[in-house]
Structure 1
Amino acid sequence: MKTLTGLALAVTLITPTAAHAETRQDAFVYFSYDHGAKVVKWDQGWITLAGTGDMPQMSAAPDGRKVAWITNRGALKVKNGAKVTTVATKLQGGTPCLTPVWSADSKQVAYVKGETILAVKADGSGRRTLGVSKGVCHLAWAAGGRYLAGYTGEADALYKLDTTTGKAAKVPGIKWITHVQGLSPDGRVAIVQFPANAGQLGDGSWPTAFTPVLFDTTTGKKLAIPVRGRLTGALYLGDGSLAVRTKAAKIVVVKDGKQVRTIAEPAGIRSKALLQVVSGR
């Protein structure tokens, strides 16, 4: 009986501590043109992860720690903390749409050389060829690892690369396209931006905000986004859920067609492009 009383007392003492345990907040990674092109992170304060040059061809890793970019001279750099590693050279620099892309586990970065898409580990080792595609602009890599997508330099087609075969297929139903933000884990659905006409193609720079369209890469049809209001971006999270950015500085997370939570963005982000949402742990 004394043992039970002691146990009950221990539980009483422990429970408040667990209940008041601090929960880590979500962090956000942005690309900013403010005071020079750079990738910045909000994690209870602003941190500059990397400066990416005046013609930014960049990508932020899903872990919120690493940044990859291509210099004007065609060198692919990876910054991890304070360390900067050159992982590829003799690439096409000075072309804003030719952005690299990280794998979902943040261990590899994919990039283009001509129409060949390659991948290399963050430390420069393990280089491999993924395949050949005409879709080389604003690469997106599905979390499942099998598919990559990008649009053509002429901005008139979207191609999806199957890394198991090394071959790419043209996605039906697209006339003009100016951005690819992400692919669903199975590679079926792409987050894209469509211009109104050929006179609004731009120069391929990464948009600070865009009206996202969910596009079925098999059927060539647009899919509904179950979020109201003015949408200013979207991306897929590692668990396959869709994070939809709104003008009200709120990110609505959608899973299986249903809204599951809303995240408030930090102040002062209207001129910044959302690259990653790093879930709190």
Structure 2
Amino acid sequence: MNTFALTLALIGSAAAPLDIARAADIKPTVILVHGAFADSASWNGVAAKLRGDGYNVIGAANPLRSVQGDASAVANIVKSVKGPVVLVGHSYGGAVISAAANGLANVKSLVYVAAFAPDQGETALELSGRYPGGTLGGALAEPVALANGGKDFYIQQDKFHQQFAADVPKAQAELMAMGQRPIAEAALTEAAGAPAWKNLPSYFIYGTADKNIPAAALGFMADRAKSRKTIKVAGASHVVMTSHPAAVAKLIEEAAQAK
């Protein structure tokens, strides 16, 4: 081997460990998936904390039309990211990330924020009614008829604060109610496929005063998914990420840093 070739070989052998070290130091991208009656702005406090700690954050626009269709939309975003991803879902967004992560090698972990983690064949509607304590049905407005024969659901604006965001300042909750995204009935009644939480590390955080998904249901799903860490925030509403962003961001960072 001539001197030039030997020099290149030595440089290459030295660079390989460095490349591996750099890859290990890469922080995962955090993709935040909102649920029904919310939008990506509901994650603002969490996103600000994560960004301040050096994480790249993407707020996915969840279509709220169907579990598989919504999961496909989120999966496309995950595929566009080079490097590891922590996938985070709120409420119905939990059903979406459970489906979206299947087959995606760069998803490192799943974080469920007051979120559904359905098993195969289960629906969000059935899970929310399996345990007592949910009062969403009585807070819904008259459904909006869709051209395809389906229905869109909203929460009545005058009931939004107490039902959805009781621990958020009233003025903020009123703005959230005005900008809420509707969910199609079809999405709530679609049976889930095989869930990614059976194969990926999962983390859960929820409030004990959740009126959309009873705390007992959330605890059941966390235990079933063999959650690596479950945090119950005393007195928190369904939008625990809005009212307690630091606690939610901390758990996401733990999921991002876990080996």
TM value normalised by structure 1: 0.30
Larger RCO, structure (CA 8 Å, separation 6 or more): 2
* Structure with a larger share of its residues in strand: 1
TM value normalised by structure 2: 0.32
* Structure with a larger share of its residues in helix: 2
